[in-house]
Structure 1
Amino acid sequence: MVLEFVNGGELLERIAIKGKLSEREGRRLFHQLIDGVSYCHDKGVYHRDLKPENVLVDQNGNIKISDFGLSALPQHLGNDGLLHTTCGSPNYIAPEVLQNRGYDGSLSDIWSCGVILYVMLIGYLPFDDRNIVVLYQKIFKGDTQIPKWLSPSAQNLLQRILEPNPMKRINMAEIKSHEWFQKNYVPVAPYDDDDEDVQLGAHLPVKEKTNEESGDKKTYQINAFQLIGMASSLDLSGFFEEEEVSQRRIRFPSTHPPKYVFDKIESSATELGFQVQRGDSKLKVMRNCNGSKNPESFFVCAEVFELGPALHVVELRKSHGNPALYRQLCERISSDLGVCKPEQIFRTESLDDDLEDSSAGTPLVAL
């Protein structure tokens, strides 16, 4: 088993060193925490043991949610649609979990996130006592004091999260739309299983990084084995076939330098009303990506591979979104980049079972 090395330690250590975090720093980390936990909930996963010890910090100051040993999956839900296992850490556990009557995993995780936020901003636990019975009594009553020196909007958010009645507690959507949370909030792009560079809780840099010598964006050079691996059954003809746009992934050649390609893609996507985030070697095109279950959300990753000094392959991968909108984007990009015809975009991979793979067609270019 190989695990990622997160060398920044636990969030608890960071708080212990500083005593407490500023609202600005606490809000930035809380943005990432909520985006990460919300993503888990969208996938039907409830953590159930959220606490600063289980939130790690990487070398860039971004958080990683860890220790899913007590997490629940959809199959763990009872016939009433609720969870029934009492688990978690005493100081962070939601009151409804202690009542042993069934609880909503999302709302109980939100309570724990609220306790973490309290600790980050104030520097100590909202509910604490050496006597476990007294501790649970405080949790049941929501018996805590929120300092008046916090901003009014921060006080309001903490009060609404640390509401002992889960039916009155603020939910994820309401947290994301809250005044305090919205300040400087940039939603994290949805995680793409094919995109090893985007990690949960980490934002892509807005500004591109350039190669100092050429001024171009960083590209990956493809060797012969990788090139052959892109084609089906070791047949390279499928790499340059005249086919319809795939539902999920397309590739087409370009003689333009990477920076020019990314500039064109960004310009085309922006004119079509999409949001764009540029990273070191990839570009994200998205719309309404506040949650992966949003039916109107759209997410495409663009990447450029180098085949030779003057020939590159542009790859567009759709994580999710409307197929017609995806086709419109692909045809606009191919047209702006000067590909012969928008219809001559090469289909190299289809992830939809209902699409038939075809190897027929005439190569558009020859290497």
Structure 2
Amino acid sequence: MRMGKYEMGRTLGEGHFGKVKLARDADTGRTFAIKILDRQRILAMKINEQIKREIATLKLLKHPNVVRLYEVSASKTKIYMVLEYVNGGELFDKIALKGKLTEKEARKLFQQLIDAVAYCHEKGVYHRDLKPENVLVDAKGNIKVSDFGLSALPQNQLKDGLLHTTCGSPNYIAPEVLLNKGYDGSMSDIWSCGVILYVMLTGNLPFDDQNVVVLYQKILKGNAHIPKWLSQGAQHILRKILDPNPIMRIDVDGIKAHEWFKKGYAPAVPFNDDEEDISMDVDSLNMTEVTYHNGIQDKIAINQMNAFQLIGMSSCLDLSGFFEKELKVIQDCKGLANSRGQESLLISAEVFEINESLYVVELKKSSGDCSLYRKLCETLSEDLGTCKSQQFLKQDSIRQEIGRYNSSF
């Protein structure tokens, strides 16, 4: 299979919106990673602006510790992003394999991470989803920051100079982001870097809980346990970064001036901005425009909340009493069978009524085939995304959906 001059190879990974394939430039023999995105699914899930933002952001960034975007092309059904191929895997896998890193190794990677983040901030780019899964490691042990799908540019700031979209990954999100009062994108990124440093040094998360509400309460308090067996310098810089008050939190300049950070520090040199520009035109992607509501520029559409907005509505992040009415639709939905008549999937579902127009559906796999469960979730997600009323399925609709899956499986 070929895409222009690129010869497609094995699949490196698959996601909900497409896949990433290893590719080779037939002319030069150089390897790349090509992200292949499905246009129809992007439009159905209304993330077209997110994709365009990621492409526009990557076009700005030319740094040795940031994944490079070299080319973008599109067909009627696909979008192709030709990216730098990083063959060392995720930082997450590196930490998981070793349990934790030595201070020397963690410091080197943290120095590169701060270099990359500082460069992004100088370009007006705030990542907003920094975590070990979004930091790649190459064969030489150097990091490459990736996945800028939730990044923000200066034009995303409101008149107060702050960002207001609540996003990120729960364990790595900064406390000020949770407060829904606006936040400085650079300081929220610094917090996430601090969480990554903590994970590298200890092998554990500084804030963790199975209950997301309790997790957010811990983050807001900011009382991370800093192990005494770490060096004094490591303990000090972690406390300075993981300060829940963004005004008191150490910034990039402060981090670079810190004695622990400076040890063996060799600043990265950004690539020349005069290099050949990326072959692309973001506006030529011709994806239908979608207006998103963020609770500040417009009132939140009651049927288009994300999980962060939902939790943010409750007083002091206490959801007890928030759900006035609980509709227990299915406690044990048994008998979802495959074509051979063997029971292969056991699920349970609950629907919570927030108000007359908003319902939250919780779906859990009790036992059975994981692939069937993923298929169920994907199909249900597609049905919800294309629902003309753009509302969550009500009780009767859930029963109909489960019945349909019962017959199709």
Instruction: State the TM-score, normalized to the length of structure 2.
Output: 0.47
Structure with larger Rg:
1
| 1:27 equivalenced with 2:107 (yes/no) | yes
Q: Distance in 1 between matches of 2:146 and 2:268?
A: 18
- In the other structure, the counterpart of 2:254 is 174
After TM superposition, the structure 1 = structure 2 runs for residues 148-227 of structure 1, keeping only pairs within 5 Å, are: 148-194=228-274
- In the other structure, the counterpart of 1:38 is 118
SS of the equivalent of 2:189 reads helix
| Counterpart among 166, 187, 208 of residue 107 in structure 1 | 187
Q: Distance in 1 between matches of 2:139 and 2:273?
A: 23
Unaligned ranges ≥5, structure 2: 1-80, 277-409
Q: CA deviation at 1:139?
A: 0.1
| Counterpart among 64, 75, 81 of residue 144 in structure 2 | 64
SS of the equivalent of 2:176 reads helix
- In the other structure, the counterpart of 1:326 is none
**2:219 is matched by which residue type in structure 1?**
I
Q: Distance in 2 between matches of 1:109 and 1:7?
A: 25
- In the other structure, the counterpart of 1:131 is 211
- Computed over aligned residues only, the root mean square deviation of the Cα atoms, in angstroms, reads 0.9
How many percent of aligned residue pairs carry the same amino acid? 73
Q: Distance in 1 between matches of 2:231 and 2:131?
A: 23
- In the other structure, the counterpart of 1:90 is 170
| Counterpart among 132, 135, 141 of residue 55 in structure 1 | 135
SS of the equivalent of 2:214 reads helix
**1:143 is matched by which residue type in structure 2?**
N
Q: CA deviation at 1:193?
A: 2.8
Q: CA deviation at 1:3?
A: 1.4
**1:162 is matched by which residue type in structure 2?**
L
Number of residue pairs the alignment of both structures matches: 196
SS of the equivalent of 1:2 reads strand
- In the other structure, the counterpart of 1:328 is none
Q: CA deviation at 1:190?
A: 2.5
Tell me the alpha carbon deviations over residues 200-225 of structure 1, each in whole angstroms, 9 at most, x when there is no partner: xxxxxxxxxxxxxxxxxxxxxxxxxx
Instruction: State the TM-score, normalized to the length of structure 1.
Output: 0.53
Q: CA deviation at 1:195?
A: 5.4
Q: Distance in 2 between matches of 1:92 and 1:34?
A: 16
After TM superposition, the structure 1 = structure 2 runs for residues 325-336 of structure 1, keeping only pairs within 5 Å, are: none
SS of the equivalent of 1:174 reads helix
Q: Distance in 1 between matches of 2:275 and 2:208?
A: 42
Unaligned ranges ≥5, structure 1: 197-367
Q: Distance in 2 between matches of 1:12 and 1:186?
A: 24
After TM superposition, the structure 1 = structure 2 runs for residues 224-239 of structure 1, keeping only pairs within 5 Å, are: none
| 1:4 equivalenced with 2:84 (yes/no) | yes
Superposition misfits of 4+ residues, deviation over 2 angstroms: 193-196
SS of the equivalent of 1:175 reads helix
After TM superposition, the structure 1 = structure 2 runs for residues 307-318 of structure 1, keeping only pairs within 5 Å, are: none
- In the other structure, the counterpart of 2:200 is 120
**2:183 is matched by which residue type in structure 1?**
Y
Q: Distance in 1 between matches of 2:142 and 2:274?
A: 21
Q: CA deviation at 1:5?
A: 1.3
Tell me the alpha carbon deviations over residues 14-58 of structure 1, each in whole angstroms, 9 at most, x when there is no partner: 000000000000000001000000000000000000000000001
Tell me the alpha carbon deviations over residues 337-357 of structure 1, each in whole angstroms, 9 at most, x when there is no partner: xxxxxxxxxxxxxxxxxxxxx
| Counterpart among 78, 82, 89 of residue 158 in structure 2 | 78
